[in-house]
Structures are given as structure tokens and as C-alpha cells.
Amino acid sequence: MNERENIFKRIREALKAPAHSLAGGLPTVAEQRGVMPAVSSEHEAQMALFHANSAELRAHIVLVADMRDLETKMAALRDEEGWKKVAAHVGDLSITTAQSLGLPVLITHPGFDKEELATCDAGITECDALVAQTGSVLVTSRSAGGRALSCLPPHHVIIARREQLVADLPTAFEQLVQKYGGNYPSMISFITGPSRTGDIERILVLGAHGPKHLTIFMV
């Protein structure tokens, strides 16, 4: 408690000397949008932008017509990659799809075994939003089965609904405030492509620590 007071005392003392003023105050969201990368207001154009951004990021998008189609296409991915075990969380879309694969499914209930999660070939989650502007997927510890499920397995599979697509980052943040304001999940993450590093000679390598593959199923 003592150091807290000391630090505040020094801050207040320091701020007595006024700085050169910088007019304007905190920017409005409209001002932010005015300078940031432009995004069309048309849904189709936003969808095209999300596709283009995902391709550049090397995330894969799979469009599916309905739940049946989702299960068929997910099974194709299972066979292609030879999954032996997957992990998922309890959610409308994620759990039934995971269970339809006919593989052992680890469900991330509170207290699940993280060592077991490390042996799963894919983590299947839902999300809060998709961001056209940047190709990002917004997940939280509440919407995507905790913190590790979307990060520890080598393949992160997201099941999203098309209407979850939003235009830009300011919209995604506004939506977060509206949805959770006052009771936020303890983790909120914008995931923009599979895990990557450029730490060796600035050469891009995917799958540094997090998932090597990111697949987004859009229902």
C-alpha cells in the first residue's frame, strides 16, 4: 500500500508542471474510422474482403450450407489430416460437430487435463465475431472454451455463422462492450491467422507455438 501512495504522490507532483497542450482530446469512433483502412458497408464486399485477408494470412475458409454439410466437410478434414483425437467446448455448433466425427473428444470442462489437450490433433471452437478489415477471429474464454483450447492443439478449427462477420475493429470492440460490458470474460483475443514467427532472418514460419493451421467453417 505504501508504494502505491508513493507512486501516486510522485505522479501528482510531476503533473503539476503542465505539458505543451495538444488539442482534441480523446478521438471519437467516427474519427478512428476516418483514418483507418476503409471497409465497404455492403455485406458481400465485406465477405470478399474477409476471404482475401484470410488467404493472405494462410487461414482457410470453408463455406458450408447447413449442419449436415458442416459435418461432412469436417469429416473430410479429419480424413485428410488423419486426426485421432479432437477437443471441443460445450456450444451449440461445436460439440455436436465434434461428436459427429466418431473420434474421442476431450471437452474442456473446468478442470480438464491440459496434458491431454496437448495430445489432441485439433481444437474446435466457436467465436464472437469475424472482422473483415483484418481477417481476424474474435474469441473469448467464454465463447471458445477457455484459454488453451484455441491455442494449444496444432489445428484450430472455428465454426462461425456468416452473420457474425463485422466490418472493422471499431465495430468488433463496440460489440464486445455491448455484449459483455460489466462482466467481461477473463480472456479476449483477436486471432489473425495461424501462429507465426519471423524471428529467424525475418522469414515467415507458421506454427511457432500456437496452431499451425487455422480453418474457419462458415455456416
Partner 1 sequence: MTSPASQFTTDAGRVAPDLRHRGIIQAAMGKYETVRDQRKKWFQDWEGARNLAARTKFEAVNHLDRYLEEFVSKLEARGTKVHWASTSAQAREIIFSILREKDAKVVVKSKAMTSEEIHLNAAMAEAGYEVVESDLGEFIVQLREEAPYHLVFPAMHLTRGDIKETFEDKLHITSSDNPEDLTMVARRVLREKYLQADVGITGANFAVAETGMISITENEGNARLTAALPKTMITLVGIEKVLPRITDLALFLPMLAVMGTGQALTCYNTMYGGPRQADEADGPEEFHVVLLDNHRTSLLADAEQRDALGCIRCGACLNVCPIFKNIGGHTYSTTYGGPIGSVITPHLRGLTQWKHLSDASSLCGACTETCPVKIDLHHHLLQNRRNGAKLKPSLFQKTAFKLFAPVANVRVLWSLTTQLSRIGMKVRGLVNGSIIDPAHAWTKTRELPPIAPQSFREWWKERQ
Q: Which of residues 112-141 bind partner 1 (CB under 8 A)?
A: 112, 114-115, 118, 134-136, 141
Do the beta carbons of residue 59 and residue 52 sit within 8 Å?
no
# residues near partner 1 by CB under 8 A = 83
Picking from 144, 179, 178, the residue whose alpha carbon sits closest to that of residue 160 is 144
Shortest spacing between CB 120 and partner 1, in angstroms: 13
Which backbone phi and psi does 40 adopt, to 5 degrees?
A: -65, 155
Is 178 an interacting residue with respect to partner 1 (CB under 8 A)? Answer: no
Among 101, 189, 217, 219, binds partner 1 (CB under 8 A): 189
State CA 129 to chain mean position distance: 8
Shortest spacing between CB 72 and partner 1, in angstroms: 28
User: What does the alpha-carbon distance between residue 130 and residue 171 come to, in Å, rounded to a whole number?
Assistant: 11
The interface with partner 1 within residues 29-88 (CB under 8 A) comprises 29, 31-32, 34-38, 53
Among 60, 85, 142, 161, binds partner 1 (CB under 8 A): 142
Among 151, 167, 216, 218, binds partner 1 (CB under 8 A): 151
Residue number with CB closer to partner 1 (100 or 175): 175
CA angle (108 as vertex; 103, 215 as ends), nearest 5:
65
Residue number with CB closer to partner 1 (146 or 217): 146
Q: Which region, judged by CB under 8 A, interacts with partner 1, from 17-25, 68-76, 94-102, 159-167? A: 17-25
Shortest spacing between CB 74 and partner 1, in angstroms: 21
Do the beta carbons of residue 23 and residue 179 sit within 8 Å?
no
Picking from 127, 140, 141, 136, the residue whose alpha carbon sits closest to that of residue 167 is 136
Residue number with CB closer to partner 1 (66 or 204): 204
Contacts of 63 (CB under 8 A, 6+ apart): 218
